[in-house]
């Protein structure tokens, strides 16, 4: 059973304010949850292996493959530029 002081400490850590009725209700609920965990701790799981997935489904993803290099993409973009100078777009001067 959780004490009133422990519940107040938990509320302070969570940065929430609780009315007296809420403290009593949450103390009982949290105590019930912790009692359930205590029951689970009593179960012998020494012969049970770790399980990380229970449905048997697998993620199907495609492998990464390079389709074009950055320089190929840059060259395609620059090819479409109305005006260019070297590897850069040439634009009208707007600031002096």
Residue 71 resides in a domain: no
Expressed in percent and rounded to 5, the helix, strand and coil fractions of the chain are: 45, 5, 50
The answer to whether 27 and 4 are in contact (CB under 8 A) is yes
Residue 34 resides in a domain: yes
The answer to whether 8 and 23 are in contact (CB under 8 A) is yes
CA distance 60 to 35: 41
- Global model pTM greater than 0.75: no
Q: What is the pLDDT of residue 82?
A: 87
Residue 73 resides in a domain: no
Number of domains in the chain: 1
Domain extent for 21: 4-41
- Residue labelled with tokens 């809420």: 22
Average pLDDT, 10 consecutive residues per value, the chain (96 residues): 90 93 93 93 90 81 77 83 85 84
The answer to whether 2 and 31 are in contact (CB under 8 A) is yes
Which CATH number covers residue 22? Answer: 1.10.20
CA distance 18 to 27: 11
């Amino acid at each position: 059973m959780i004490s009133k002081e422990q519940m107040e400490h938990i509320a302070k850590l969570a940065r929430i304010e609780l009315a007296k009725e809420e403290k009593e209700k949450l103390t009982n609920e949290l105590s019930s949850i912790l009692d359930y965990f205590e029951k689970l701790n009593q179960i012998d799981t020494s012969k049970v292996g770790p399980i990380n997935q229970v449905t048997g489904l697998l993620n199907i993803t495609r492998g990464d493959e390079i389709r074009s290099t950055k320089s190929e993409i840059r060259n395609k973009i620059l090819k479409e530029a109305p005006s260019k100078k070297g590897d850069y777009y040439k634009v009208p001067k707007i600031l002096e």
